[in-house]
Structure formats: C-alpha cells, structure tokens
Amino acid sequence: MNEWGAVLAALLPSVGVGLIFWFAMRAIINADRSERQALARADADDARADEGS
C-alpha cells in the first residue's frame, strides 16, 4: 500500500496544477464570450440608433 501512496504523492501536484489551469482558462473563455456578447449588443443598439436618425 505504501507504493500507492508514493504514486499518489507524485501525481497529486500535477493534477492540482492542471485543475487550476483548467479553471483559469474556463474563466478567461467565459469572460471573453461575455465581452463579445456585450459588444454585439452595443453594436446592435448603435445600428438601431443610426437607423432612427
């Protein structure tokens, strides 16, 4: 059983860093998606405002 403990101790840091990287990338991608949607809405509002003028 001591061998499995050593294997887990060796893999745990890599798995932890991988999870942190995954959460960070997910947050960046979601922020980018939200910003693109907000810019599309702003452009659509500007286009509607230009049509009315």
Instruction: Give the model's pLDDT for residue 17.
Output: 98
- CA dist 12 and 44 (Å) reads 48
pLDDT in tens, 1-52: 689 999 999 999 999 999 999 999 999 999 999 999 999 999 999 999 888 7
> For the whole model, what pTM was predicted?
0.72
Banded model confidence at residue 53, pLDDT cuts 50, 70, 90 = low
- CA dist 3 and 32 (Å) reads 44
